[in-house]
Structure 1
């Protein structure tokens, strides 16, 4: 918006109770028009209810595109769920409005890996919809390097089967493709399809370390200065390996130096509820909180726990809470290997547990950190430095804007330079290869 562009968002309330549908009138949030549908979604929903919710929101977004889509220059279709590709495809076919397909999760792979999508017919339909989404996208944005590699593999090795890459990308011929160094593009059969990694980012202002906030929050919840606060926030579902968290909690239950805070909800929250009464002095469950309240907890925490299932696909996950944590100067503790590990090592701001008993390994790491406040402070400084140097929201937003300003198909194929856009963004719009990543992985 600072570059002179207008932004509209179509969403459902989801996790944010402050968003309420206002009929056809949009809400104004920081200058952005937000159109909120009445679709209900909660992480506790079973498979059937989730499918109904996804289809209802798809229908609402599709109706929006049919009524208003002609007036837009570019659309961002953010997936999952994969059904969000349908309104973008219709806008592309009907109004010739180009869209950028944003893969927050690589669907349907992630749903299959989590054991959520099992029906063979639904799998087949999902893969076909995925192929269409990639085929007609002006560009594809992923939020981790692993996701980019997965999408590029699909574009290359599955193009013969699914027709991926025919429009804007061309079919890949053996030995005929060329990937530009650092450019995040694949040139195939004479055409191009941009696949760019732009991860989740850090709000350096909202999540900035604040000693006054830290002390006030800890005092409010009765935490001593010599205690180590371990925070788990966010979803508590099948993908989040809550059994590993429960194992770490149980293994540190007799250590009063370690205090556990939980903020979030989901079908696996029972792992958090277990033993709350018996461990009331070292464990607190806050439930679902507004973003500002979660940020206050992050600022008061000493360790930020990030967990995912141990299937290979979850190596690619790019969790928001990690980026909030490093912005607040809080080191991270992972229960498994992650694509973020090179940065964790380079900035000495995180611990990755790779053993066969991750719960016990996490507990051992927490006990070591509880006994070494100097190391925690050093890791916290490294975390904040990583946020500033690599994952700064403004830097990544500029990279994303560069992608949006160079749609490669549709009626708006010409580039529209925004007011106040930096030279790096203008250059990308003029056809220079945008960097795959503002800072390449260390090593």
Structure 2
């Protein structure tokens, strides 16, 4: 079959932007003719990846996948205007210069983020009658509000939010299938009027690219074998509620516990000052580590911390570190509500605590120490088995392939 992928993000962009590339190769490996429409790679820095220059359009073939790249304005700084220019320029270029590359498809997979991608999606859906599977990787306008680009108040922000709800509603109606990444997101979409027969659960996977054996970061940091290491790696922002983690460390006097915090963000300075004020000896800040050091950091942790501030989108947010930790065969300590906590319990790999409650997190840390490294590694093994069944690339590609085939059948009936 001939399947298309429409996404502003694609290889060689890292992290979540690598999802469409993994999907494209997975579908091609299953014998499908795969066509991709995307932009020139510039995420997350806003600078073009080495070896690329922006032209009106460029075609390439990689791993049996045909890729059409179209011009865009690259920017990922804090300016809402420049961000809108990035999203809008890709949508316009994709509509004018990219859609001819996606003619004659049996079905089309579309990443919903950013929602400006609706312009080429609608053209392909209505002008070429291409059945669409819309994958809701970010809820809009919720994610925009959470990022701070929509400020609370009357007037403009409310009008913008209402307009985005209307826009997204039109995207959902155009799609034959609407895929969601966690049960909580599926419930939100159902409340927003997406028919149940359209909804399909397709959770995200971790990066399964083979990596060379990781160096022993524990030895490098002078961590003895009797220490139980809890790792937090990621953004140090407000949404993660990491003040709770710092305060919990202050409540635990078990000498076996050591917490490593790696990453950067708007809350980093405050968190470092908070730890320094309480003179914590069981918490170390490692700063922002290079991406190639992540496997070593993952291996160094006996258990990994996932935190989300209560309220807002936390009930239906699934941080990518949940899948990454399960894939690495490591245990989880989750201080969050909703879907992330459910996975921690269902997988058998996790210990949960109440978000925003240092006492609850400290009690979970004491439980971690009592379990010890050997039992924590057994929890990690259970998590790896759960990942294979639920989150793996093979499982995800199979679900999307099935959704595309269902979209084809729906399109034929129409």
TM-score relative to the length of structure 2: 0.76
Structure 1 contact 144–197 (Cα < 8 Å) conserved: yes
Matched, 1:2 2:16: no
- The aligned counterpart of 1:101 is 134
Correspondences of 1:9-88 after superposition (within 5 Å): 10-11=38-39, 12-15=41-44, 19-20=49-50, 21-23=52-54, 24-25=57-58, 30-32=63-65, 35=69, 39-42=73-76, 45-70=78-103, 72-88=105-121
What displacement does 1:140 show?
Answer: 0.4
The answer for the alignment partner of 1:436 in structure 2 is none
Q: Say whether the 8 Å CA contact 2:229–2:260 is kept in structure 1.
A: yes
Match of 1:303 in 2: 303
What secondary structure does 1:407 align onto? helix
Change (3 A) 1:195 1:125: same
Give the deviation of 1:337 after TM superposition. 1.4
Q: CA–CA distance in 1 between the matches of 2:272 and 2:66?
A: 39
CA 1:97 to 1:405, structure 2 compared with 1: closer, same or farther past 3 Å?
A: same
CA contact (8 A) 2:35 2:102 kept: no
Residues 263-295 of structure 1, C-alpha deviation per residue, up to 9 Å, x if partnerless?
A: 3x44444345546887798423342633x5323
- Picking from 140, 143, 162, the partner of 2:178 is 140
Q: Which has the higher helix share?
A: 2
Q: CA separation in 2, counterparts of 1:276 and 1:247?
A: 8
1 CA distance for matches of 2:90 and 2:283? 41
Tell me how far 1:86 sits from its aligned partner: 2.8
Which residue of 1 is the match for residue 169 of structure 2?
A: 131
Measured in 2, the distance between the counterparts of 1:41 and 1:246 equals: 34
Deviations 1:165-214 (A, max 9, x none): xxxx7xxxxxxxxxxxxxxx42xxxxxxx21011112456748xx9x63x
Counterpart secondary structure, 1:4: coil
Task: Give the distance between the partners of 1:243 and 1:254, measured in 2 at CA.
Answer: 20
2:206 touches 2:392 (CA, 8 Å); kept in 1? yes
Conservation of the 8 A alpha-carbon contact between 1:79 and 1:104: yes
Q: Deviations over 1:25-70 (max 9, x none)?
A: 456665545548664454x625444334333443344344345333
Cα RMSD after superposing both structures? 3.5
Deviation for aligned residue 1:408: 4.8
Contiguous gaps of at least 5 residues in structure 2: 1-27, 152-156
Preserved CA contact (<8 Å) 2:70 2:94: no
What's the offset of the Cα at 1:108? 1.2
Following the alignment from structure 2 to structure 1, what is the Cα–Cα distance between the partners of residues 126 and 173? 12
Count, aligned residues: 371
Distance 1:205 1:196 in 2: 26
Q: Using a 3 Å threshold, how does the CA distance of structure 1 residues 18 and 39 change in structure 2: closer, same or farther?
A: closer
Deviations 1:356-397 (A, max 9, x none): x43443233224313431431232122122112332321221
Partner of 1:191: none
Is the contact between residue 353 and residue 362 of structure 1 (CA under 8 Å) also seen in structure 2? yes
2:224 is equivalent to residue 224 of structure 1: yes
Give distance in 2, aligned partners of 1:269 and 1:57.
33
User: Secondary structure of the residue that 1:351 maps to in structure 2?
Assistant: strand
Name the SS for the 1:372 alignment partner: helix
Report what 1:122 is aligned to: 160
Which deviates more from structure 2 when the two are superposed, residues 278-287 or residues 116-125? 278-287
Q: 1:32 to 1:250 in 2, by over 3 A?
A: farther
Q: Is the 8 A contact 1:335 1:359 kept in 2?
A: no
Partner of 1:369: 368
1:229-248, aligned counterparts within 5 Å?
A: 229-248=229-248
User: Could you tell me whether the CA contact under 8 Å between 2:205 and 2:391 is conserved in 1?
Assistant: yes
Please say if residues 105 and 317 of structure 1, whose CA atoms lie closer than 8 Å, have aligned partners that are also in contact: no
In 2, the alpha carbon distance for the partners of 1:396 and 1:49 equals: 33
> 8 Å contact 1:262–1:286 — kept in the other structure?
yes
Q: Which runs of 5+ in 1 are unaligned?
A: 157-168, 170-184, 187-193, 416-443
Report the secondary structure of 1:389's partner residue.
Answer: helix
Specify whether residues 28 and 68 from structure 1 end up closer, same or farther in structure 2 by C-alpha distance, changes over 3 A only: closer
Distance change in 2, residues 1:389/1:271 (3 Å) = farther
